[in-house]
Structure 1
Amino acid sequence: MEKKAEVEIISRKAVKPSSPTSPQSRNLDISLLDQVIPSIYTAVILFYNPNINKNNDSSFRPPSEKSDLLQKSLSKILLNFYPFAGRLNNNTGIECDDEGVYFVDAEINCGLSEFLKEPDPSLLNHLLPTSDPKATELARNAVLLVQLTVFNYGGIAVSVCPSHKIADASSLCEFVKSWAAVAREHDEVACPEFIGVSMLPPTTDQAIEYSLEAPGEHFIMKKFVFDVSKLVNLKAKIGRCFKPALLSQTVNEESKMEVDDIVAKMRKGLKELCNEKANRFKGEDGYSIFLEYSKLTGEFCKMGVKMYNCSSRCKFPLYEVDFGWGKPTWITNPRYAMNAITLMGTKKGDGIKAWVTVEKQEMAVFKSNEELLDFASINPSVIII
């Protein structure tokens, strides 16, 4: 973009459920896993092209009507996802008191096509309600924040930011799909059961949370897109096959270890966790077992070992999310944490995009690696019709 685009907040409000939550559902305890999850907001941003033909396109809605539709349908879907309208209660649970989802209306002084020519990670951050200091102050302990940002000429971005204490990538996807179905007056609506406590009982001690430090000035984020055909060649090169999975894993890479060795160790570790160790967290000593793993992680950090956190949102059908004005032209979920990698599929299914946040010096080496550039392109433009 020739000029620096700026985001202006137009309004902030709380969207409450269309009916009160029943008294017996007013308090929701969170599981052990939720207790140790960092107190952060996860996010997804969905970009939609403007409706060009006002006369022939029955789905045409001006931005103000889109905001009204989003808020009204959000109010309805909160009947099923009632904890999303509550407030976090320390690290023990959620008070489902119907205080509401914090909803922000904003405008940006550029067109969507211009913005997507070369998406700026720092500007993407301003499309999130969590980047607005006043919103985060007024919506203290809110479980869910939403921002609708209107571009010049009618394009929009819908940002959905639930607390990681209640929603992972899978549940976020189910929520957004159901919300869109309500907006279209369809009945494809999920009715989730909040039963995490029965699977992983919480601790009554002061639970220790994992911490994800926000990147400082010496860190930088870049987007890499891997073409599917090149990924096939990469898989053939390393002699391994990957199956679709949602994975967050810390690894310690040995010196001179080949890629196929790393993949083999990751698969072996995941298999051991699923078959032997996962059930141990369900018992009364689940928290003490977690502390053992935390202590091990701490020891690696003291030794100067860098930890990289990777998560995948591939295969989630977010490109099908239609609120009534068409499917998104682009979706992203940049993750603002140090040494973080987030994977997501492309709209056509012909590639994988990876948001990578590492130290500037490390990124300089990373993005100039010839072998990497054989398989990936750096921050390519997003083609929209």
Structure 2
Amino acid sequence: MVSKLESVSKSMMVKPSSPTPNHLRHFKISLLDEMAPSVYIPIILFYSATDISSSPFGTHDFKAMSNKLKASLSKVLTLYYPFCGRFKCTSSSSSISVDCNDEGVPYIESKFSKNLSDILNRPQSEMQELLPFHPYNHDVPNISEHCDKHMVSMAVKVSEFKCGGVALGVCLSHKIADGETTASFLNAWAKTARDLFNEVEPPQMDASLIFPSRGIEWALNSLMVGEGGGNEKLVTKCFLFSAMDLSRLRVRFGSFNATRVEAVTTLIWKSAIQAAKASSGDDESKRTLKASLVCHALNIRNRMVPPLPKNMFGNLWLFAFSDLVETDGTYGTEELHDLVEIVRNGIREAAANYSSLINQGDDGVNELVEFSKEAKLMVTENIIACYGFSSWIRFGFYDVDFGWGRPTKVKNINLPMKNIIYLIPTRNGDGIETWVTMTELDMDEFQRNPGLLQFASLES
């Protein structure tokens, strides 16, 4: 546990400041929402006491700060009304919708006896107490298995530390929100808290008109990495790429001019392949992996033709898969410049290919479903290794200022699945934190990889 809670208020509900109009009460999810995993997106924003006290609206009165958060949340929910509704799904249908009934957002206040610095030094896995519930293992019914139940769309927990610092932990249902929607909402909430509600651009809620739902059941949450680690112990560690590290790394790609994300992805992929080989030992009979690939969660808003609005609400992302890299015999010997081209091509081709399939109607969607099943089978049977990447670099989470300064730190809670990697910017924006989850055996080798440690430092 992070620390023992001194006191926690009873959970309260924050409802929208004005009722949702009747014609907006039934929110239809899109095909891409259906394809999203049945989990919550977790994010924790930390604000230091120093930044709070030096900001224009700063105060050491935690109750006043929390009241401002509740009042501004109530107001911004009039625009983001699905977040204060409840999921509905009848047992006779797999179709899911949101009843925007204004039941409200669960809101919890807590107080910790530790300082903010103590909390930030704790392992990533122990950050879950700063969230309203565990985003992947909680007591809120799973909509895909209990369609006759309701489920909250969003919940909030605000925590005060002994030093006066504050953490805001938010869980947003991935069934109606992706990273872009999460960032847009948090920044809209923050603007509202700074009395700038008139500058908030309302989200566009018509994704289901572009991507109509089809009542399909999708398992993309397990596609990347199988059904989790099985009996294998999973470990999550952070590797920091400073601005100087990134510059030196990009030079290694010569005239290819790799982006920061491409460079980091390629280095981690190569190092992960080498770690998997080393952890399997010399016994070829124990090494069943035949190939490896990477996939990125790709924001398709600006990649569609014509582009979709940046503020379109919902899930507007798809997996961008690279080509397979054969690992028999030459396991881990691929050069960086060979792998980075594979990474780039996978990202560039994905949006066009997926858009084409989606526009083909049922035949295209069925092809996507069959592809997901085949890929999942190969991963779960340990035939291929798939490394899933999610980049938060461009989402602007470090811009979320409620009136007491920008966050000191932004964190999430990694999916409890192997071979998944989050890329999160540093506060000043010029570095990248990579949160890597692997089996314990693979991580033992990965964290010692000399090629990796040339450019990244292991954070404690």
TM-score, structure 2 length as denominator?
0.75
After superposition, the Cα gap between the structure-2 partners of 1:9 and 1:224, relative to the gap in structure 1 and judged at 3 Å, is farther
Corresponding residue number in structure 2 for 1:123: 126
Corresponding residue number in structure 2 for 1:320: 399
One-letter identity of the residue aligned with 1:319: Y
Corresponding residue number in structure 1 for 2:243: 228
Q: How much does 1:316 deviate?
A: 2.2
SS of the aligned residue for 2:257 comes to: coil
Q: How much does 1:119 deviate?
A: 3.5
Contact preservation (8 Å) 2:2, 2:126: no
Corresponding residue number in structure 2 for 1:102: 106
Q: Does 1:342 align with 2:341?
A: no
Corresponding residue number in structure 1 for 2:387: 308
Deviations 1:217-248 (A, max 9, x none): 70011111111211122122133334477635
Name whichever of 21-30 and 206-215 sits farther off: 206-215
Q: How much does 1:167 deviate?
A: 0.9
Name whichever of 175-184 and 260-269 sits farther off: 260-269
Name whichever of 334-343 and 28-37 sits farther off: 334-343
Name whichever of 53-62 and 332-341 sits farther off: 53-62
1:237-252 → structure 2 map (5 Å cutoff): 237-239=252-254, 240-243=256-259, 247=298, 248-251=319-322, 252=324
Corresponding residue number in structure 2 for 1:383: none
Q: How much does 1:106 deviate?
A: 1.8
TM-score, structure 1 length as denominator?
0.89
Q: Does 1:261 align with 2:338?
A: yes
One-letter identity of the residue aligned with 1:349: G
SS of the aligned residue for 2:49 comes to: coil
Taking the aligned partners of 1:199 and 1:219, their CA distance within structure 2 comes to 39
Contact preservation (8 Å) 1:225, 1:351: yes
Corresponding residue number in structure 2 for 1:370: 450
Contact preservation (8 Å) 1:17, 1:75: yes
Q: Does 1:298 align with 2:376?
A: yes
Q: How much does 1:130 deviate?
A: 2.2
Corresponding residue number in structure 1 for 2:184: 174
Q: How much does 1:376 deviate?
A: 1.0
After superposition, the Cα gap between the structure-2 partners of 1:100 and 1:372, relative to the gap in structure 1 and judged at 3 Å, is same
Q: Does 1:281 align with 2:358?
A: yes
Deviations 1:226-277 (A, max 9, x none): 1121112212213333447763545544323323222211222222223344
Q: How much does 1:140 deviate?
A: 5.6
After superposition, the Cα gap between the structure-2 partners of 1:268 and 1:21, relative to the gap in structure 1 and judged at 3 Å, is same
SS of the aligned residue for 2:202 comes to: coil
After superposition, the Cα gap between the structure-2 partners of 1:210 and 1:268, relative to the gap in structure 1 and judged at 3 Å, is same
Structure 2 residue runs of 5 or longer lacking an equivalent are 90-94, 142-148, 262-296, 299-318, 328-332
Contact preservation (8 Å) 2:390, 2:422: yes
Contact preservation (8 Å) 2:52, 2:60: no
Taking the aligned partners of 1:53 and 1:88, their CA distance within structure 2 comes to 36
SS of the aligned residue for 2:422 comes to: strand
Contact preservation (8 Å) 1:51, 1:59: no
Q: Does 1:203 align with 2:222?
A: no
SS of the aligned residue for 2:108 comes to: strand
One-letter identity of the residue aligned with 1:372: L
Corresponding residue number in structure 2 for 1:14: 13
* Count of residues paired in the alignment: 376
Contact preservation (8 Å) 1:225, 1:353: yes
Corresponding residue number in structure 2 for 1:37: 36
Contact preservation (8 Å) 2:156, 2:169: yes
Contact preservation (8 Å) 2:125, 2:413: no
Q: What fraction of aligned residue pairs are identical, expressed as a percent?
A: 33
Taking the aligned partners of 2:129 and 2:237, their CA distance within structure 1 comes to 16
Q: How much does 1:68 deviate?
A: 1.2
One-letter identity of the residue aligned with 2:257: C
One-letter identity of the residue aligned with 2:334: M
Q: How much does 1:66 deviate?
A: 1.3
After superposition, the Cα gap between the structure-2 partners of 1:65 and 1:135, relative to the gap in structure 1 and judged at 3 Å, is farther
SS of the aligned residue for 1:152 comes to: coil
Structure 1 residue runs of 5 or longer lacking an equivalent are 381-385
Taking the aligned partners of 1:53 and 1:306, their CA distance within structure 2 comes to 45
SS of the aligned residue for 2:428 comes to: coil
SS of the aligned residue for 1:94 comes to: strand
Contact preservation (8 Å) 1:244, 1:315: no
Q: How much does 1:147 deviate?
A: 1.1
